[in-house]
Amino acid sequence: MKAFPSLCVLCGSLILFSVAFDGPAHSRPPVGSAITYQGELKNGGVALNGTADLTFQLWPTNSAVGAPSSAVVQVNNVGVTNGRFTVNLDFGAAAFNGEARFMQIRVRTPHDPGNSLPFTTLTPLQEAKPAPMAMHSLSTGLVPNASLLGTYSQTLSLTNAANTLAGNGAGVTALNASNLSSGVVGSGLLAGSYSNVLTLGNANNILAGNGAAIHSLNANQISSGNLSMTRMPTSGIWTLTDLLRIDSSTLVVDPTLNRVGIGDVTPDRNLDVYDTTQATVLVHSGSTSGSVLELKGLDPAFLGSSTYGSLRWTDAADNTEAQISFGRSLLGSGMTFRSDDVSRMHISTNGNVGIGEPLPFARLHVQNTDLGVASAEITNEDFIIEDSDAVLSLFSSNGGTYGSAITLGDINTTTGDLQNKWSMYRTTGAAGRFTFSFGADADYSVNPAVMTLRDTGRVGIGTTSPGATLHVLETTNDTVCNFSTLGDGPVVSLTLANVSSIQPALIITNTGSGPAIDAGGKVRCEVLEITGGADLSEGFNVADHEHEIIAGMVVSIDPAHPGELMPCTQAYDRKVAGIISGAGGVKTGMVMKHDGTLADGKHPVALTGRVYCLVDCGNGAIEPGDLLTTSDVPGHAMKASDHDRASGAVIGKAMTGMDRGRGLVLVLVNLQ
């Protein structure tokens, strides 16, 4: 795209409107609103030759700021020779109102058939100079007679009394009749509607026609025809001796039967409303109290049964299809809803609602089969379902999250806050769950789940994803389960029904450091199988200020501390008591102790069974089957080669061997 830094305007002609000429109108046509514009385009001082697309727009100032004075006029494929071009532009007569105008020009060369390339805006804006014809139209003086021919739509005031209008005045309108000083108005000119008061004081005046437009007549002077509704009496007693019809069947009054028909010429009720499409009765009020439709019954002093009023739906044969009525009886008062002549629902005056029950005992009493429930048996019930097989069903969309729910809670009557809200709700979907939750949040699904029943039959207490048929999860330090009985039977009875199964009936696992079972009484079983250890130990306190107490050590009775042990420090020590259990990856099988007595201690010392023992081969290599006794190495055993000294100092038999040095040997503990 080329840039055009300069534009030279050769000439411009602007005509505003066509009143500045004289002569016969048929030979001088009006001047239009178009202008002829000529300019010169140069690129770098060289005159352009070729084609160009140009746009033109008028502005009130030379800065093109604010609202433009015209729309954009675009002229395409303009021929340019030696830089010069000529175009005809029509901005419309409204664009030139006598005020200054500046024209903004944009150019695009060569011609763009697709009209998609951008234009270059030329500066400065070109001022539009007035042409001679336009200057004449803006000058003062008299307009020639021939120039006034045609239709002039603007207001024209002729204030000179010497002005004379010739012709028959057919085109003159809005004349003031008070300025007519002579002549007689023809009869034909009085036709049509005359809105002002007209007094005919001459007795000889005659009015022809049906008098439809005549008002303020004296009814005593009417000898024939019908009176309009506005002429009817507005006060006093209007006595009817026969049917009164307004517009055939629009309103019918029967004074004999005291009936009124609207749309019905033979009303069969006190008020009979009929319409061929849909009869509608509208009662509305302009008061904030609203509208009232009142049905009034007998005197309240009447002691028998009575109906105050009813709304009844009937068919064309007057058979009652449905009815709403309010009445009272010796059994109770209230509103009754009936269909097919059967009572379907009853609302008592105390607010109780009965569906199928005429005397509801609760806020909602649903009865399908009368079971003869006595009111004395009902105390605090708000909802009763009475049937041979009473069923309460809650169904919800399968697209929801919490499909069905029942909530029970307390409301603080002082603050209005929700307290202690129990909820039972079911989640939707095939893999749904039934959850019991408790909390104070208004959203029951946010409150913590207490118990959950899954579609698989599993029950979770403290967890919504039970991993077993019964899964109890306690996240605090509270007791998970507490079983107690006041009878002679067992508290808990667990039976594995599949006699061919090798799985245990009860699995108890403690991932912490505490015991998996803590029994406060006797434990009795036919067979006790321990799979996590291989020895029988007792708890002892073992003290040694010089050596670290570790599993596998051989310990002896500490004569300075009754009931306690110490690592052995001499060979063939008859005070040997056992081996500290737990070395070599073989855990303690069973520990016996009495808490809080001398028979208590934190180190399990194996008295029988299989444990790993620290040994020293300084007295010879150890082979399986060798008797072991204490050695001079603290906490270590050795091979008992001196049988006389070994009597009373044997720890047990080696089950694995060791050639030299020190290490661990599996020992079958058997103190001798």
Strands 565-567 and 576-580, by their bridges, are unpaired
At 225 the pLDDT is 63
The whole-chain average pLDDT of the chain stands at: 79
Determine the topology of domain 535-670 in CATH: Virus Head Decoration Protein; Chain: A, (2.40.300)
Residue percentage of the chain with pLDDT more than 70: 73
Is the pLDDT at 171 greater than 70? The verdict is no
At 566 the pLDDT is 94
CATH of segment(s) 6-139: 2.60.40
Cα angle 378, 408, 442 (rounded to 5 degrees) comes to 150
| Residue among 147, 122, 126, 123 at smallest CA distance from 14 | 126
At 137 the pLDDT is 52
Q: Are 337 and 345 in contact (CB under 8 A)?
A: yes
Lowest mean pLDDT of 218-227, 270-279, 630-639, name the range. 218-227
Distance CA 144, CA 321 (A): 90
pLDDT band at 317 (very low <50, low <70, confident <90, very high): confident
Residue percentage of the chain with pLDDT more than 90: 25
At 20 the pLDDT is 32
pLDDT band at 9 (very low <50, low <70, confident <90, very high): very low
Q: Are 612 and 583 in contact (CB under 8 A)?
A: yes
- In terms of C-beta density within 10 A (0-12 exposed, 13-18 middle, 19 or more buried), how is residue 646 classed? buried
At 19 the pLDDT is 34
Mean pLDDT across the stretch 518-527? 76
Cα angle 502, 505, 511 (rounded to 5 degrees) comes to 105
Lowest mean pLDDT of 132-141, 208-217, 348-357, name the range. 132-141
Q: Are 383 and 406 in contact (CB under 8 A)?
A: no
Per-residue pLDDT of 93-149, as tens digits, reads: 788 877 889 999 999 999 999 999 999 998 889 888 776 445 445 444 455 555 555
Mean pLDDT across the stretch 449-474? 86
- Taking the model in full, what pTM does it have? 0.45
At 349 the pLDDT is 80
At 569 the pLDDT is 93
- In terms of C-beta density within 10 A (0-12 exposed, 13-18 middle, 19 or more buried), how is residue 214 classed? exposed
* Phi (first) and psi of residue 461, to 5 degrees: -115, 110
Residue predicted with more confidence, 4 or 314: 314
What is the residue extent of each domain of the chain? 6-139, 244-273, 318-386, 402-472, 535-670
At 200 the pLDDT is 65
Is the pLDDT at 485 greater than 90? The verdict is no
At 128 the pLDDT is 80
Mean pLDDT across the stretch 231-259? 75
Tokens describing residue 144: 């020639």
DSSP state of 622: B
Is the pLDDT at 201 greater than 80? The verdict is no
Is the pLDDT at 66 greater than 80? The verdict is yes
